[in-house]
Amino acid sequence: MIRRPNSLSDRPTGQSVAPRSTASSLPCVDALAPVLGQFRFRSDLYCLLVGAGSWGLSVPEASDTAYVHCLRRGRSTVRVGNDAFELAPGDLLLLPHGDAHDVLGEPGNRTEPLDIGELLTRRAQRADRVLLVGRGAGETELVCGGYAFDRNGFNPLLDFLPTVVFVSAVASAESRVEAILAAAVHELTNPGPGSDLALERLAELILISALRSCIDATEPDGKGRRLAARIE
Protein backbone atom coordinates (compact mmCIF):
# COMPACT_ATOMS: atom_id res chain seq x y z
CA MET A 1 0.00 0.00 0.00
CA ILE A 2 1.31 3.43 -0.91
CA ARG A 3 2.00 5.58 2.13
CA ARG A 4 0.93 9.19 1.85
CA PRO A 5 1.71 12.27 3.96
CA ASN A 6 -0.99 13.75 6.18
CA SER A 7 -1.12 17.01 4.30
CA LEU A 8 0.31 18.95 1.40
CA SER A 9 0.51 22.71 1.30
CA ASP A 10 2.07 24.97 -1.30
CA ARG A 11 3.19 27.49 1.31
CA PRO A 12 6.99 27.90 1.07
CA THR A 13 8.76 25.54 3.49
CA GLY A 14 12.41 26.41 2.90
CA GLN A 15 13.19 22.83 1.95
CA SER A 16 15.54 22.10 -0.89
CA VAL A 17 14.13 20.95 -4.21
CA ALA A 18 14.27 17.20 -4.74
CA PRO A 19 16.37 15.84 -7.63
CA ARG A 20 14.56 15.54 -10.94
CA SER A 21 12.73 12.25 -11.28
CA THR A 22 13.95 9.71 -13.80
CA ALA A 23 10.32 9.56 -14.96
CA SER A 24 10.99 12.86 -16.79
CA SER A 25 12.18 10.79 -19.74
CA LEU A 26 8.60 9.72 -20.41
CA PRO A 27 7.21 11.28 -23.59
CA CYS A 28 3.95 12.42 -21.95
CA VAL A 29 3.45 16.20 -22.22
CA ASP A 30 0.20 16.55 -20.28
CA ALA A 31 0.03 13.64 -17.83
CA LEU A 32 -2.95 14.96 -15.90
CA ALA A 33 -5.58 14.79 -18.65
CA PRO A 34 -5.25 11.05 -19.37
CA VAL A 35 -5.09 10.30 -15.64
CA LEU A 36 -8.39 12.09 -15.00
CA GLY A 37 -9.89 10.44 -18.05
CA GLN A 38 -9.26 6.96 -16.65
CA PHE A 39 -11.36 7.33 -13.51
CA ARG A 40 -15.08 7.83 -13.14
CA PHE A 41 -16.25 10.45 -10.70
CA ARG A 42 -19.16 12.84 -10.31
CA SER A 43 -18.45 16.46 -9.44
CA ASP A 44 -20.76 18.85 -7.63
CA LEU A 45 -20.63 22.18 -5.83
CA TYR A 46 -23.13 21.68 -3.01
CA CYS A 47 -23.70 25.22 -1.86
CA LEU A 48 -22.45 28.67 -1.04
CA LEU A 49 -22.07 28.46 2.73
CA VAL A 50 -22.66 31.82 4.39
CA GLY A 51 -21.65 31.82 8.05
CA ALA A 52 -22.33 34.67 10.48
CA GLY A 53 -21.44 35.16 14.12
CA SER A 54 -20.33 32.05 16.01
CA TRP A 55 -20.89 29.07 13.73
CA GLY A 56 -19.45 25.65 12.96
CA LEU A 57 -20.39 22.55 10.97
CA SER A 58 -19.28 18.96 11.48
CA VAL A 59 -18.97 17.07 8.18
CA PRO A 60 -19.08 13.25 8.42
CA GLU A 61 -16.59 10.85 6.88
CA ALA A 62 -17.48 9.65 3.38
CA SER A 63 -15.33 6.86 1.98
CA ASP A 64 -16.52 7.42 -1.60
CA THR A 65 -16.32 11.22 -1.66
CA ALA A 66 -13.57 13.81 -1.81
CA TYR A 67 -14.58 17.08 -0.14
CA VAL A 68 -13.49 20.57 -1.21
CA HIS A 69 -13.88 23.96 0.48
CA CYS A 70 -12.88 27.28 -1.10
CA LEU A 71 -13.01 30.51 0.88
CA ARG A 72 -14.56 33.37 -1.05
CA ARG A 73 -14.82 36.01 1.68
CA GLY A 74 -14.10 36.46 5.38
CA ARG A 75 -12.14 33.81 7.27
CA SER A 76 -12.63 30.20 8.29
CA THR A 77 -10.82 27.30 9.91
CA VAL A 78 -11.08 23.68 8.77
CA ARG A 79 -10.15 21.14 11.44
CA VAL A 80 -9.14 17.66 10.28
CA GLY A 81 -8.27 15.39 13.20
CA ASN A 82 -5.64 17.23 15.24
CA ASP A 83 -4.70 19.58 12.40
CA ALA A 84 -6.30 22.97 11.79
CA PHE A 85 -6.04 24.94 8.54
CA GLU A 86 -6.79 28.65 8.57
CA LEU A 87 -8.26 29.75 5.25
CA ALA A 88 -7.85 33.19 3.72
CA PRO A 89 -9.89 34.43 0.73
CA GLY A 90 -8.94 32.45 -2.37
CA ASP A 91 -7.55 29.48 -0.41
CA LEU A 92 -8.61 25.98 -1.42
CA LEU A 93 -8.69 22.88 0.79
CA LEU A 94 -9.26 19.41 -0.68
CA LEU A 95 -9.88 16.27 1.38
CA PRO A 96 -9.30 13.53 -1.23
CA HIS A 97 -10.19 10.62 1.07
CA GLY A 98 -13.40 12.02 2.55
CA ASP A 99 -12.10 12.41 6.11
CA ALA A 100 -14.48 13.73 8.75
CA HIS A 101 -13.80 17.40 9.49
CA ASP A 102 -15.16 20.58 11.03
CA VAL A 103 -15.70 23.85 9.17
CA LEU A 104 -15.61 26.77 11.61
CA GLY A 105 -15.91 30.51 11.68
CA GLU A 106 -13.44 30.58 14.58
CA PRO A 107 -11.25 27.71 15.89
CA GLY A 108 -13.11 27.35 19.21
CA ASN A 109 -16.67 27.47 17.90
CA ARG A 110 -19.16 24.72 18.62
CA THR A 111 -20.36 22.65 15.67
CA GLU A 112 -23.63 21.21 14.48
CA PRO A 113 -23.78 18.15 12.20
CA LEU A 114 -24.17 18.64 8.46
CA ASP A 115 -26.14 16.02 6.53
CA ILE A 116 -24.99 16.22 2.89
CA GLY A 117 -27.99 14.22 1.65
CA GLU A 118 -30.42 16.53 3.41
CA LEU A 119 -28.51 19.54 2.11
CA LEU A 120 -28.88 18.36 -1.49
CA THR A 121 -32.59 17.65 -0.96
CA ARG A 122 -33.20 21.13 0.45
CA ARG A 123 -31.13 22.64 -2.34
CA ALA A 124 -33.43 21.12 -4.96
CA GLN A 125 -36.38 22.86 -3.29
CA ARG A 126 -34.82 26.32 -3.19
CA ALA A 127 -34.47 29.01 -5.83
CA ASP A 128 -30.83 29.46 -4.88
CA ARG A 129 -28.16 27.21 -3.39
CA VAL A 130 -27.16 29.20 -0.34
CA LEU A 131 -26.75 27.60 3.10
CA LEU A 132 -27.09 30.12 5.94
CA VAL A 133 -25.39 29.15 9.21
CA GLY A 134 -25.34 31.13 12.46
CA ARG A 135 -26.43 34.68 13.07
CA GLY A 136 -24.74 37.92 13.97
CA ALA A 137 -22.09 40.21 12.55
CA GLY A 138 -19.29 39.28 10.19
CA GLU A 139 -20.03 37.07 7.22
CA THR A 140 -17.94 34.28 5.75
CA GLU A 141 -18.55 32.81 2.31
CA LEU A 142 -17.33 29.33 1.38
CA VAL A 143 -17.95 27.41 -1.83
CA CYS A 144 -18.35 23.78 -0.73
CA GLY A 145 -18.46 20.73 -2.96
CA GLY A 146 -17.42 17.15 -3.47
CA TYR A 147 -16.32 14.46 -5.90
CA ALA A 148 -17.97 11.03 -5.75
CA PHE A 149 -15.44 8.44 -6.97
CA ASP A 150 -16.02 4.88 -8.09
CA ARG A 151 -14.25 2.99 -5.28
CA ASN A 152 -14.88 -0.45 -6.74
CA GLY A 153 -11.78 -0.40 -8.90
CA PHE A 154 -8.08 0.41 -8.49
CA ASN A 155 -7.63 4.17 -8.20
CA PRO A 156 -3.96 5.17 -7.93
CA LEU A 157 -4.93 8.82 -8.37
CA LEU A 158 -6.35 8.86 -4.84
CA ASP A 159 -3.33 6.97 -3.49
CA PHE A 160 -1.14 9.69 -5.01
CA LEU A 161 -2.89 12.35 -2.93
CA PRO A 162 -2.28 13.10 0.77
CA THR A 163 -5.01 13.32 3.38
CA VAL A 164 -5.26 17.10 2.94
CA VAL A 165 -4.32 19.29 -0.03
CA PHE A 166 -4.15 22.95 0.97
CA VAL A 167 -3.63 25.52 -1.80
CA SER A 168 -2.81 29.03 -0.62
CA ALA A 169 -3.97 31.91 -2.80
CA VAL A 170 -0.92 33.91 -1.68
CA ALA A 171 1.74 31.33 -2.48
CA SER A 172 0.04 29.73 -5.47
CA ALA A 173 0.36 30.75 -9.08
CA GLU A 174 -3.16 29.40 -9.58
CA SER A 175 -4.78 32.85 -9.46
CA ARG A 176 -7.48 31.49 -11.76
CA VAL A 177 -9.10 29.91 -8.68
CA GLU A 178 -10.56 33.29 -7.76
CA ALA A 179 -12.16 33.56 -11.21
CA ILE A 180 -13.59 30.04 -10.82
CA LEU A 181 -15.03 30.96 -7.41
CA ALA A 182 -16.65 34.10 -8.80
CA ALA A 183 -18.35 32.05 -11.51
CA ALA A 184 -19.39 29.40 -8.95
CA VAL A 185 -20.93 32.00 -6.62
CA HIS A 186 -22.95 33.41 -9.52
CA GLU A 187 -24.33 29.96 -10.44
CA LEU A 188 -25.08 29.09 -6.81
CA THR A 189 -26.89 32.34 -6.06
CA ASN A 190 -28.56 32.84 -9.45
CA PRO A 191 -29.16 29.35 -10.89
CA GLY A 192 -30.60 29.12 -14.38
CA PRO A 193 -30.84 26.66 -17.26
CA GLY A 194 -27.67 24.58 -17.35
CA SER A 195 -26.51 25.56 -13.85
CA ASP A 196 -26.10 21.94 -12.72
CA LEU A 197 -23.76 21.24 -15.64
CA ALA A 198 -21.92 24.53 -15.10
CA LEU A 199 -21.33 23.68 -11.44
CA GLU A 200 -20.00 20.23 -12.40
CA ARG A 201 -17.49 21.80 -14.77
CA LEU A 202 -16.45 24.46 -12.26
CA ALA A 203 -15.92 21.74 -9.63
CA GLU A 204 -13.69 19.89 -12.09
CA LEU A 205 -11.61 23.05 -12.64
CA ILE A 206 -11.17 23.37 -8.87
CA LEU A 207 -9.99 19.74 -8.70
CA ILE A 208 -7.51 20.33 -11.52
CA SER A 209 -6.10 23.34 -9.66
CA ALA A 210 -5.59 21.20 -6.54
CA LEU A 211 -3.91 18.42 -8.54
CA ARG A 212 -1.62 20.93 -10.22
CA SER A 213 -0.56 22.08 -6.77
CA CYS A 214 0.30 18.49 -5.83
CA ILE A 215 2.31 18.03 -9.01
CA ASP A 216 4.18 21.31 -8.54
CA ALA A 217 5.08 20.32 -4.97
CA THR A 218 6.37 16.84 -5.86
CA GLU A 219 7.78 17.18 -9.38
CA PRO A 220 10.35 19.87 -10.22
CA ASP A 221 9.31 20.16 -13.88
CA GLY A 222 5.59 20.32 -13.06
CA LYS A 223 4.63 17.97 -15.90
CA GLY A 224 3.02 15.22 -13.87
CA ARG A 225 5.15 12.47 -15.36
CA ARG A 226 5.72 10.81 -11.99
CA LEU A 227 1.97 10.60 -11.57
CA ALA A 228 1.60 9.17 -15.06
CA ALA A 229 4.27 6.54 -14.34
CA ARG A 230 2.42 5.46 -11.20
CA ILE A 231 -0.83 5.06 -13.11
CA GLU A 232 0.71 2.81 -15.79
CB 151 within 8 A of CB 42: no
Q: Name, in order, each residue with C-beta under 8 angstroms of 232's C-beta and a sequence gap of 6 or more.
A: none
What domains does the chain contain, in order, with CATH numbers? 31-231 (2.60.120.280)
CB 77 within 8 A of CB 106: yes
* Four-CA torsion 96, 6, 51, 186, nearest 10 degrees: -40
Question: Of the segments 59-63, 117-121, 141-145, 208-212, which one has the largest average pLDDT value?
Answer: 141-145
What pLDDT does residue 18 have? 34
CB 206 within 8 A of CB 68: yes
pLDDT digits (tens, 9 = 90+) for 119-151: 888 777 777 899 999 887 778 999 999 998 876
Q: Which of 28, 62, 61 is nearest to 42 (CA)?
A: 62
> 134 vs 12, which has greater pLDDT?
134
Q: How far is CA 122 from the centre of its chain?
A: 22
What pLDDT does residue 92 have? 93
> 21 vs 224, which has greater pLDDT?
224
What pLDDT does residue 25 have? 42
**Res 8 pLDDT > 70:** no
Q: Residue 3: how many CB atoms within 10 A of its CB?
A: 5
Percent of the chain past pLDDT 90, that is, above it, reads: 43
What pLDDT does residue 136 have? 77
